[in-house]
Amino acid sequence: MTAPLRPSEPVIVKVGLGDRAYDIVIGRGVLRTLGERIKALRPGARAAIVADASVARLHLAAVRGALAAAQVESSDIVVPPGEGSKNYATFEKACEALIAARIERNDLVVALGGGVIGDLAGFVAASVRRGLDYVQVPTTLLAQVDSSVGGKTAINSPQGKNLIGAFHQPILVMADTALLDTLPKREFAAGYAEVAKYGLLGDAGFFAWLESNWQDVFAGGPGREHAIAVCCRAKAVIVARDERETGERALLNLGHTFGHAFEAAAGFSQRLLHGEAVALGCVLAFEFSARRGLASADAASRVARHLAAVGLPTQIKDLSGPIPDIDRLMTLIAQDKKVKRGRLTFILVRDIGEAFVADDVDAGEVRAFLAEKLS
């Protein structure tokens, strides 16, 4: 961890992937430099901006302006907001729009939005003309600390989330923290679950810092840049060591196996946002680890206390709508992509900041634990 930064200083985090290395530029107002940074990386390239309609209404003009200021020609493709746009139909529409706009191999895509747009536009960029460069301009907290970094791109199949996709790294990530000022509080809090996750999985000091400074992160003070930079540094290190998730990158899934099951049961809807499911999933991962004698009950309570303080769900009873039954939850957990040869793979913990991959978790033990939680 480093000392909090002054808001005027952009922080640059490097993702060290050899000839595919790129910068994550973090700071209030960094969007203004988007055009000149693109021009320096790809002189003469034209840009196709992909945005969702809500983000376009708020921020597209600024992005267009930043590109025009550096004489980067741009066109745009606006899709409906929400997870529903990570589908074949929107993917096709965006690909065809890029081709119609005569975007060539040496041009690029700018993904302007949250994780939905980053995943969709990144996959479009990976696919059109066998691979175009793309730049991530993440506009949600979740996207700034997680989805815009690391090159996972995808759309959903009717059979499951993120099943059609590619690893395709961006050439630049511009995380302008001022863009988060327009984000609804509920979306900000959901993204905060992914922020806390970095502390929980590998940085106890950062988690303690968040416990004392989370209000500043929410309020947009210097703590916001600091928190985003810490998360991006942590993710950059993991991605550089394990780009294709053959090992430690799986730690980033802390809270996701339990979380995905509840998110899927809620139909990937506004009833339970992804980050909210991750918050509940992190608490369950700590409680399950405590039940196995790996972590202390005190650590689990501390995690729940902090996430509840910021307004996130931490118990099954916090969820709105019908609660899924145990059979449905176990089916959803078994469908999760982290199942290998019938054994369940979970990210478990020994303490705050000490997560590890456990690939031998007995399904019966998980069922008994969830049955207790549901009772």
Choice between 90 and 147, CB closer to ligand GLY: 147
Does the annotation count 253 as an active-site position? yes
Stretch that binds ligand GLY, among 92-100, 102-110, 145-153, 304-312 (CB under 6 A): 145-153
DSSP reduced 3-state for 314: coil
DSSP letters of 274-286?
Answer: HHHHHHHHHHHHH
Residue 147 touching ligand NAD (CB under 6 A): yes
Give me the helices (H) in the chain, please.
Answer: 34-41, 53-55, 61-69, 88-100, 115-127, 141-142, 185-202, 204-219, 222-241, 256-265, 274-291, 297-309, 326-335, 363-374
- 337: how many CB neighbours lie within 10 A of its CB? 15
**From CA 354, how far away is CA 373, in angstroms rounded?**
24
Q: Which of 59, 64, 152, 224 binds ligand GLY (CB under 6 A)?
A: 152
Q: Catalytic annotation on 249? A: yes
Out of 45, 60, 137, 142, point to the residue binding ligand NAD (CB under 6 A): 142
Q: What is the DSSP letter of 148?
A: T
Binding to ligand NAD by residue 197, rule CB under 6 A? Answer: no
Taking CB under 6 A as the binding criterion, the range among 12-20, 146-154, 226-234, 283-291 that sits at the site for ligand NAD is: 146-154
Site for ligand GLY in 205-264 (CB under 6 A): 245, 249, 252
Where does this chain touch ligand GLY (CB under 6 A) — which range of 70-78, 146-154, 271-279, 350-358?
A: 146-154
Residue 247 DSSP label: S
Residue nearer to ligand GLY on the CB measure, 33 or 169: 169
Q: Which of 235, 263, 287, 306 is catalytic?
A: 235
Other beta carbons less than 10 A from residue 290's beta carbon: 18
As given in the structure block, the two tokens for residue 285 are 């991962």
CA separation for the pair 286, 290 (Å, rounded): 6
Of the residues 42, 59, 86, 152, which is catalytic? 152
Residue 225 interacts, among ligand GLY, ligand NAD, none and using kind-specific CB cut-offs from 5 to 8 Å, with: none
3-class state of residue 128 by DSSP: helix
User: Is 274 known to be catalytic?
Assistant: yes
Q: Which does 75 bind (CB under 5 to 8 A by kind): ligand GLY, ligand NAD, none?
A: none
Distance CA 199, CA 194 (A): 9
Nearest to ligand GLY of 7, 165 (CB atom)? 165
Site size toward ligand NAD, by CB under 6 A: 29
| Catalytic, out of 46, 59, 249, 338 | 249
Residue 152 and residue 167 in contact, taking contact as beta carbons nearer than 8 Å: yes
Q: How far is the CB of 81 from ligand NAD (least distance, A)?
A: 4
Q: Which amino acid is at 269?
A: S
Alpha carbon distance 131, 106 (integer Å) = 10
Q: Which is nearer to ligand NAD, 280 or 295 (CB)?
A: 280
Catalytic residue numbers, as ranges: 130, 152, 194, 235, 245, 249, 253, 256, 260, 274
Residues in contact with ligand GLY by the rule CB under 6 A: 146, 150, 152, 245, 249, 252
